[in-house]
Amino acid sequence: MILSVDKVKFSYKSRPVLREINFKVNRGELFSILGNNGAGKSTLLKCLNKILKPQGGTILIEKEELLALSRREVARRLGYVAQRYESARITVFDAVLLGRKPHIKWDVGVRDLEVVRNVLEVLGLEEFSLRYLDELSGGELQKVVIARALAQEPRVLLLDEPTSNLDLKNQFEVLRIVKKAASERNIAVVVVMHDLNLVLRFADKFLLLKNGTIFACGGMEIMTPENIAAVYEVRVAVERLADTPVVVPL
């Protein structure tokens, strides 16, 4: 177990968004958070990274209390890819080098450059390294921000809708990379996603969030038509097609 969330509560002003959230994530796991818009998925992800401060509960990362760590210490342990990001006029190499920020004291070291080179290679971005971010396609850009988070050498990677703007090919490519990173680096990946078919194909664990509370949490066994229908308020069937689980709205 690498991440343990216990009784986490969060409210914007007086409106509660999350109530009593408990779950655990293991190493090497791709853990997905699911639910309708406004269910509190992104809020939960931001709480896990201390961008938002929960009003109650504890979050343990490798037995350390997350809320007691400084922002820099948090950044050394967790990588976060936001739903929205901006593409300034910097090169791909520099954008990924930024991921070393939590580790850099005054200037970049040889190791930092090496980590960046390595991550670029893993994501197949080497040939882009001197291209400017604003010249990249959506898929390439998404890979760059994931590369940046991986360059942080995090123990937990948090992704907020990493595939929402991508075409089919890039959706698969990005999720394959993420899944490979999870198993090879033995880190946990927590991902917020909307596409149930992609989730069923790639995720190991599922957390169904409804109105700020956990509706169900577990493996493939909780992804029943009944649960999904209750959370998304749409009747569905879960079938297997060519040996792959698929969700079909009815």
Partner 1 sequence: MRQVAMEKIPESYLKYTQRKVFIICLLLFLIFLLGVYAINVGAAELSPLQVLLTLLGKTEEGPFTIIIWNIRLPRVLAAITAGVGLSVAGCVMQNLLRNPLASPFTLGISQGAAFGAAVAIIALGAGSTHSTSADAVIINNPYLLTICAFAGAMATTLVVLFLAQIKGVTPEAMVLAGVALGSLFSAATIILQYFAREVQVAAVVFWTFGDIGRASWRDLGIMATTVGAALLYFMANRWNYNALDAGEETAKGLGVEVEKIRLVGMFVSSLITAVAVSFLGIIGFIGLVGPHMMRRVLGNDHRFLIPASSVMGGLLLLASDTLARTIISPVVLPVGAITSFMGAPLFLYLLSRGYSRK
Positions that interact with partner 1 (CB under 8 A): 46, 49, 51, 70-76, 78-82, 84-86, 88-91, 93-95, 98-99, 101-102, 104, 106, 110-111, 113-114, 117, 126, 129-130, 132, 134, 145, 148-149, 152, 158
Residue 113: φ, ψ to 5°: -65, -35
CB of 76 to partner 1, least distance (A): 7
Helix (H) or strand (E) holding 232, with range, is helix 225-232
DSSP string, 156-206: EEEEESTTTT--HHHHHHHHHHHHHHHHHHT-EEEEE---HHHHHHH-SEE
Tokens linked to 24: 């655990």
Task: Rank residues 108 and 229 by Cβ distance to partner 1 and give the closer one.
Answer: 108
Per DSSP, the three-state class of 1 is coil
CB of 112 to partner 1, least distance (A): 10
CB of 250 to partner 1, least distance (A): 37
DSSP string, 47-89: HHTTSS--SEEEEEETTEEGGGS-HHHHHHHEEEE-SS----S
How are strands ordered across the β-sheet holding 64-65?
A: 15-25, 3-12, 56-61, 64-65
- Spell out the residues 6+ positions from residue 176 whose beta carbon is closer than 8 angstroms to its own: 202
Gap between the Cα atoms of 131 and 135, Å rounded? 7
CB of 31 to partner 1, least distance (A): 18
CB of 64 to partner 1, least distance (A): 15
CB of 181 to partner 1, least distance (A): 17
Gap between the Cα atoms of 76 and 92, Å rounded? 21
CB of 56 to partner 1, least distance (A): 21
Counting every residue written for the chain, the total comes to 250
